[in-house]
């Protein structure tokens, strides 16, 4: 199978169909979350929307999350006087039904009932407060850092990625990241991929992906990222720490060597025709197939 056709087959296999059970479950949990938040914070009139990879068009089946943003009006203190109070109050509101795992700015939801305890629902709730009545920029609580807050803009982030012209390359690189256990944040991967491909939007997908790997292999220390919603105000340096840069470079080097020696199938795994009569003949990748094909050793595994 020629490279471009093969890579499209991989992407097809990683697409959650609108009628898929995974997406139905996500949408149901999203509806449950919104109901809880609106009942608990009814007087605050929070803005509740999709964010993350679903809104950006970069979701992959093998590792998907749904961001549900919950932003409160900037003059409203009912949900909390400070960003930290808002964060904790939203956490408390959700804790009645979910096991809530705090993250840097988000709240990860897992099953709380004894039968399914700890099952991950792939949902992050992101509380915040709008900076003014325009309801565009918002402040998020940030558990790390001196300022303890992060200024952001959901619409800017979504447009920056969705309209980048390289979402297919981003999805393949996210799959590459997941299959190899890289710890780089998806936000960072999206941003540096868009930057590295800003002059290569019209080239073939295989050339786009190889170009990113070559840059990571040869010039990883020169790669910088900035938040499109707040380019001078948010320091994203920690998203590409020296350890992460080294891991990216080593993996890119090994991947390119595997690609040159054994081709694309050795990189992302074999594909086969789905024989399920209800599938519509879609090509589906063998999930976890990457573990069964030739892959480079992982010298980054022992990095601190």
Do 171 and 145 belong to one domain? Answer: no
Do 166 and 295 belong to one domain? Answer: yes
Q: Strand, helix or coil at 291? A: helix
Q: Judge whether 251 lies within some domain.
A: yes
Burial class for 16, CB neighbours closer than 10 Å (0-12, 13-18, 19+): middle
Q: Judge whether 100 lies within some domain.
A: yes
**How far, in Å, CA of 70 to CA of 90, rounded?**
9
Tracing tokens 């073939």 back to the chain, one arrives at 204
Q: Specify the pLDDT at position 239.
A: 85
Do 254 and 180 belong to one domain? Answer: yes
Domain boundary residue, one of 128, 152, 176: 152
- Rounded to two decimals, what is the model's pTM? 0.84
- Roughly how many angstroms between the first and final C-alpha of the chain, as a whole number? 39
**How far, in Å, CA of 96 to CA of 165, rounded?**
42
Q: Judge whether 169 lies within some domain.
A: yes
Tens digit of each residue's pLDDT, the chain (304 residues): 699 999 999 999 999 888 888 888 888 989 999 999 999 998 899 999 988 898 899 999 888 888 999 999 999 899 999 999 999 999 999 999 999 999 989 999 999 998 999 999 889 999 999 999 999 999 999 887 677 888 999 999 999 999 999 999 999 999 999 999 999 999 999 999 999 999 999 999 999 999 999 999 999 999 989 889 888 777 787 789 999 999 999 999 999 999 999 999 999 998 755 444 344 333 444 444 433 333 433 333 333 3
Structural domain boundaries enclosing 257 = 3-15+162-302
Do 28 and 148 belong to one domain? Answer: yes
Q: Judge whether 167 lies within some domain.
A: yes
Do 75 and 7 belong to one domain? Answer: no
Q: Are 138 and 153 spatial neighbours (Cβ–Cβ below 8 Å)?
A: yes
Q: Are 239 and 184 spatial neighbours (Cβ–Cβ below 8 Å)?
A: yes
Do 90 and 182 belong to one domain? Answer: no
As given in the structure block, the two tokens for residue 228 are 């499109």
* Domain count of the fold of the chain: 2
Q: Specify the pLDDT at position 236.
A: 80
CA distances from 199 to 166, 203, 212, 223, 256 (A): 11, 9, 12, 15, 21
Domain boundary residue, one of 114, 134, 152: 152
* CATH assignment at residue 271: 1.10.1410
Do 141 and 180 belong to one domain? Answer: no
Do 135 and 169 belong to one domain? Answer: no
As given in the structure block, the two tokens for residue 7 are 């890579």
Q: Specify the pLDDT at position 143.
A: 85
Cα 182 to its chain centre, rounded Å, is: 13
Q: Judge whether 157 lies within some domain.
A: no
* CATH assignment at residue 84: 3.30.460.90
Q: Strand, helix or coil at 207? A: helix
Half-sphere exposure at residue 1, Cβ-oriented, CA atoms within 13 angstroms: 17
User: Which of 92, 70, 79, 80 shows the shortest CA–CA distance to 44?
Assistant: 79
Q: Judge whether 231 lies within some domain.
A: yes
Domain boundary residue, one of 152, 181, 199: 152
CA distances from 9 to 4, 73, 252, 260, 283 (A): 9, 44, 22, 20, 6
**How far, in Å, CA of 72 to CA of 79, rounded?**
8
Do 106 and 32 belong to one domain? Answer: yes
As given in the structure block, the two tokens for residue 192 are 């540096």
Do 116 and 148 belong to one domain? Answer: yes
Do 137 and 182 belong to one domain? Answer: no
Do 248 and 198 belong to one domain? Answer: yes
């Amino acid at each position: 199978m020629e490279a471009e056709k093969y890579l499209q087959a991989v992407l097809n296999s990683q697409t959650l169909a609108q009628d898929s059970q995974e997406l139905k479950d996500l949408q149901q949990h999203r509806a449950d979350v919104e109901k809880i938040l609106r009942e608990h914070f009814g007087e605050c009139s929070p803005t509740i929307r999709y964010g993350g990879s679903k809104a950006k068009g970069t979701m992959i089946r093998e590792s998907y999350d749904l961001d549900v943003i919950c932003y409160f009006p900037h003059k409203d203190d009912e949900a909390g006087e400070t960003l930290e109070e808002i964060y904790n109050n939203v956490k408390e509101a959700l804790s009645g039904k979910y096991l809530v795992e705090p993250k840097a700015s988000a709240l990860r939801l897992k099953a709380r009932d004894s039968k399914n305890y700890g099952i991950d629902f792939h949902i992050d709730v992101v509380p915040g407060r709008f900076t003014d009545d325009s309801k565009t920029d918002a402040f998020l609580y940030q558990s790390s850092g001196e300022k303890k807050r992060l200024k952001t803009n959901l619409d800017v982030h979504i447009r920056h990625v969705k309209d980048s012209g390289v979402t297919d390359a981003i999805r393949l690189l996210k799959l590459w990241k997941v299959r190899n256990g890289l710890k780089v944040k998806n936000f960072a991967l999206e941003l540096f991929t868009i930057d590295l491909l800003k002059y290569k939007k019209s080239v073939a997908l295989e050339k786009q992906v190889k170009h990113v790997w070559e840059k990571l292999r040869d010039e990883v220390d020169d790669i910088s990222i900035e938040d499109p919603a707040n380019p001078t105000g948010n320091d994203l340096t920690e998203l590409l720490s020296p350890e992460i840069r080294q891991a990216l470079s080593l993996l890119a080097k090994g991947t390119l060597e595997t690609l040159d020696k054994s081709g694309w199938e050795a990189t992302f795994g074999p594909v086969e025709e789905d024989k399920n009569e209800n599938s519509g003949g879609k090509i589906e990748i063998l999930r976890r197939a990457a573990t069964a094909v030739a892959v480079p050793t992982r010298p980054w595994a022992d990095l601190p």
